[in-house]
Structure formats: structure tokens, C-alpha cells
A and B are shown apart, each in its own frame.
Chain A
Amino acid sequence: MNRRNHQIATQGVDYLVIWLYAILVTIGILCIFMVEYRPGTDWFTSFLNGKTNYSKQLIFAGVCAIAATFILLTDSKLFTAFANLFYLAGILLMLATFVIGKNINGSKSWIPLAGGFNLQPAELCKIFAALALAKFLSRQEVDFSKIRSQLIAGAITLSPAVLSILQHELGLALVYTSFLIAMYREGLPAQILIIGSSFGVLVIATLILEPNILAIILTAIAAFVIFLLRKQIKKKKKLLTIIITIWLICVGVQRFVVPYIFNNVLECYQSTRIYSMVGKEYNCAENRKAQDKTNTNKPVRKPDDYNVRQSKIAIGSGGFFGRGFLKGTQTRGKYVPEQHTDFIFTSLGEAFGFVGCFIFLLIYLLLLYRIVRIAERQRSTFSRVYAYSVVSILFFHIAVNVSMTIGLFPIVGIPLPLISYGGSSLLTFTALIFILLRLDADRQMVLR
């Protein structure tokens, strides 16, 4: 590092990340252009007139460039100093949506701004939560191996998630679970992750298999484990009780907990989406919320997997090399709903095929690995935790969004970072990444 130019803002900034960022934003605008393009229109003027979505995204990108410059010009101490304040402001904004919120697409999570633009505080709260978590974990007195600290960290990340669920933004709420990765890096016991993923496997198994068959399989596994560990069990009677307890919990989960969650906790359409993932049909008549609704509101719409089907068709029709830029028939025919936002990956898959998708995903992977490397070279815990939070959020968005378009994950409305149309989303990711770059540029400083 060149100490003489220390005060220059661009000093020590990781240019690779900036390049990747720029490439991705450009790809994003082109993808939106592909979706919106109609032959015969003068694309150049419509790019500038601000009426089409790609033109708006271009404006957002310009705004984000300015915001990024500002972030790079600030002092990194600002973020450590104001982390908690930001967080508090974010929570307040989210609470404010319940009062002055604007209803867009069925979720009252937007605050109207001047000029027809709307702000989604839940998006911004990702940054503030990341900062707050970093701030908390970097405190000298915090020992993350203690249960109490873990609970506080959990509370910091889960409060915005709970508010998001109340706003009917399940997708955004799920994003906050990605902080588990950052916390895992900071010493969260691996057991929690293992138990969590085992629970996930069990839920999926419950969906796929008949209840009785699954019960028999679980019993067989338990018996097999007892058979394998019979010698140890002879020594330690306690082990047997542990195994039987686990078996009982498993059977209980598959018999009662999972049906309860699907019928009573989740909305009908959410259950339907999850069931359709594994190729099954969910009977909405069993859903309590749907029953409540049918009494008051209009009848439940017939469940279908139109989105996933069309999305898979669009991507699958791309083949190896794709149909070519602006030549995607599914894109032009508007077969995929919400293609400029959540299903933007389909336009890419159709136009550029497997090769395009693979290269595109490699760019993402490169960005993720680069951020992990940046994280690992930080001296301050604050910067490292923040960097891991950023990479976790990015990873979660990418993985869930792409998986849902190719039918590996149920549909939840979360955007593809830097690609999907949307000012709030783009601004959030810009801020996340450039705050990280600012912190990284100042990695020689010891931050709190």
C-alpha cells in the first residue's frame, strides 16, 4: 500500500469487484432491454426517454453510480459509528410502512417518494442489519461462543425479517436467514446449521413420501443406527434414549408439525408453490387461512404452476447456444410473468443458452469468491463480519432466484442482484458492495 496517497479515496479500492459490478449492471440493463424490446421501435431514443423499464434502470444505474462515488468518498469510520443508528432508522422506516405504506403487488411495504418512485425500506434494512450485526460482533466484550450473544445477534437479524413477514414479503424475510452464514463464520455452532438442514430434509421427505412410508423409513433408520451402535449403547444407556428421542421428534415433525405449518402458518399460495416444487398438488381446502378467506373474500384461485412451467420452458428452449440476442420467442411473447424483475434470468437463459448461463453464473461466482477473499484479508472484525454478511446476502439472492427459475426452489419473490429491474434493489446492492469496498480500502485501519 502506498501510504503517501492514503487520503485519496480510490486508493486501495478493489477494482476487480467494481469491474464485475459494472459488468453485471450492464448485463442487467441489456436483459431488461431484451424483455421490453419490440421490433420497430427506435431503441436509442426509448433508452433515453425514461418511459421504458430499461431506460428507468439506466437512470437508476446512474443514480447508483453517484451513490457509489459518495460512499467511496466517505470516511469508513462513518459506518462503524452510525451502524446502530442506521439500523434503528431502518426499523422505524419499516414500521412507518404500516402507516404510510403504499400497496404494490399485494404487499404494503413501499414508501412513495417524489417522481413516481417508491422506496422499499425492507431492502435498505439489509444494509443496516449487516452493519448492525458487524458492529455487534466486533464489540470487544462480545463472546460469540456464548448463547446470549448468539441470541442477540439472532434478534438483530430477525427483527426486520419478522416485520417483512408482517408486510407479506416472505422472500425478503427469508433473505435475513442468510446472515446465518456470516454468523457461522464467526463461530456459530455447526450443529445449528446441521439441525436446520436436517429439518429441511425431513420437511421435503414429508412432502414427497406418504406419511406411513416415511414413518417406516424413519423407524428403520433408527433401528439400523441402534444396531450399528449396539456396543456403545451397552456402555452408555443414555445414547439409546437420545436416538429414540430424535426418532420421536422426527416422526412428530413429519406427522404433525409439517402439516400444521402448511395448513395453518403458510398462505395457501405458498403451500401450493412448495408442493408444486416436488410435483404434487396442494389441496387448498385444508388451509385454514384459505378457509377464512373463502368465507370473507373471493374464492381461492385455482392453483397452478404456470410461472415455473413457462420459466423452465424459456430457459430450456435456449439449448446450448441460445436463440440469440433479442431473438427469444418466449421473451418476445411475454410468456414468462414478471420477466423483467424476478424472472429476468429466463431472458438470459433463452437468448444465450447454456453457455451464456454458465458464463453468467461464473461471473457471480467470481464476485462471491472475491468478496470472501476480501473478507478474509480484513484486520477488523467489523469489516470481516460485514463482508461475510454481504456475500451471504448476495449468495442467497442468487441461489434462490436462479433455483426458482429453473424449478429447484419454490417461487419466492426475491430479485436477482444487480440484474433485476428495480431501483431499491439496485441501490441496496450498490450500497452493500461499495460500503464493503470502502471498508476494504481502509483495511489497514483498525475499525471497531
Chain B
Amino acid sequence: MRIRFVTFMTMVVSLCITTASFAAAPIKIGALFAITGPAAFLGEPERNTAKMVVDEINKAGGVKGHLLELVAYDTSGDATKAVQLATRLIKDDKVVAIIGPSTTGETMAVIPVVEKDHIPLISCSAGSKITDPVKHWVFKTAQNDTLAVGKIYEYLQRHKQSKVAILTVSDGFGASGREQLKAQAGKYGISIVSDDTYGPKDTDMTAQLTKIRGSQAQAIICWGTNPGPALIAKNARQLGIRIPLFMSHGVSSKKFIELAGEAAEGIRLPSGKVLVADMLSKSDAQKKSLMAFVKDYNNHYRAEGDHFGGHAWDAVMLIKTAVEQGATSAASIRDQLEKTRNFHGIGGTFNYSAQDHAGLGKDAFVLVEVKNKDWVIVK
């Protein structure tokens, strides 16, 4: 039995060694995604999209004769692993650029590594501190939380609602949202009357909602990713809470409507335009990219492309554009990325500059509402 076990071990090890050697390929792009673990809902569509886009580019003959090669690793959402794998991408795989990681925490952990080794990083996570202050080698494609918060607050301001309750998840996504919700409230004349959190694995949020029900709040803003917000929507319905409920872009996918069921009706949230791609007017500059992405993703994976996948789409396309401009080395790709103007991607229209490595404006988001189990744009 023991011998069999050891033979098995040796097989595993030798398997790893053989697959670790790659065929030589002109331009190597690394990717770090949280394909398993709590952030898998981000990493999986990102990985799928990145693979899909790279395949399509290569099928069409590559970029200026260069084929692209994607080396993607799973970080399982763990900062330590992300650092190890970033090192692996740079030292062993010798990539010229890295896409990802999926979460802000991992990105912050990886930044010192890429800065040290001078490799451009295009992060797919939202935290504004990734590019604020600007770091020479670090860009991002996910929209800043600031923009999403602004979208909700503008709406509230227009409707003369000034007292809100916030309910955020106690992980990186929620904490970043909470920080922005609190920081920007003053600017829009909004006061936060109740500030609560819930754990990412909590199964019941009626306690927090009961507390909010007893407060003066005129609206509830919840910042989290599936399944928490769906649970909150259901709990709010159970408690008979009538005040409007806002969610974050963390749940802007059909999955949320499916999970929350009837309780989703009437919920509003800021979302990337990909969710309502077919409803956009023809004049919208992003429409072409969006429709192409949605169609492609559906063809490849028989699933709805969401804006998380979109972050990876944007990152690969940005690199592709840089290569089209003649960049092939890490340094030249970085320089070209910084020169990106009017790139109409999935997350919005990107304009990078030496002072701005986030590149998006407020028009990156639209406010949508759930009506009859589908999304409609709130005018």
C-alpha cells in the first residue's frame, strides 16, 4: 500500500515537472485570479474571459505577428499565495505584464513585488488605494468604489433623501465601500444614521435590519457580494421594511435576481454597463465592445458575461492595444498603457495618464433597478 502511495506521489510530482515546461511563445502575459476560495465569483469569470480573449486574438493571427500566451494561476484569494505566484510569473515564467489579482488585498500585497521587478500590473480589483497614490507600474481596470458610491448618492440627493443606513460586509470589498460611503456622505449632504456590518458567511441579517428599521433611515445601502445581499433583500422583505434598498455593483449579475427572487424587486444598484448592454442607445461609445463581449462569453461558456469578466477583458485588450503600438517589453508596455486614451472597454472609457492609473469617469456606471426579474436603467 505504501509503495503504491509513493508511486502515486512521484507520478504527481513528475506530472508537474513535465507540464511546467512551456513551448516558447512571443509575448507572455501572466494572470493571477482567485479561481477558488471566497472570491471565486470574481476569479472564475476573469480567468474564463482572459482565456477566451487571448484565444480569439491568437485565432485572428495575434497582434502584429506576435502570439499572446496567457499563464494564469489560482491564488485562492490568499495574499501570501498571490505574492509567491507573482514571483513565479516574473522569475520563472518571465512574463512581461501581469493581469489581476482579483481582490484589493491581494493586489496590495503584489504591488511591492512588481514595483521591485519592474513589471506592469493591471489589477482587476476595485479598491481606490491601488492607484491612489499613483504607482509607476500599477494600473487597474475595475471601477473605483468612489464612482459607485457617487452614483447612489446623486440619486438620493435628487430625491431629497438625506438619512441613510449602511450595511456592509466585513471583508475587503465591504470595508472599501464603507470607507467611501462615509467619506463622501458630506459632499452630497447625506448623513449616515446607522452603520452596521455583517460577516461574509453570516446566514441571518435580521438583527442588523431590525436595528435599521428602528432608526430614522430613509434608505438602506448595502455593500457586499453574493450571497449576503440576496439574504439581506429577503430578510428586509420578511421584516416588512418599506424604505428603498440600494445594493453595490458587487451583485450586478442575474445571479442576484435568481437568489433573491421576489425580494429583489425594486432594488436599485450602480452597475457597469455590461448588465444592460442591449438597452444602451446606439450612440453609446462602449456599445460595440459590450455587445461583442456578451456575445463571445455566451458562445464560449453558455453563461452571462458579467462585469467581473469585463475587468479581465479590458486588461487583455489594453495590453493588446499597447502591443499594437509596438510595445513588447515590460517597460514599453507600461509606457504605452499610460498613453491609453479613449479606450472604450467593458468597465467604461479608459483614459490613463501619468496622474491617473484608474482611468475611468463617472459615466462608467449606470443606476439600474430590478423590475419583473430583469434590469432596467433608472433615468
* Mutual binders A and B: no
Please report A residues at the B interface, Cβ cutoff 8 Å.
none
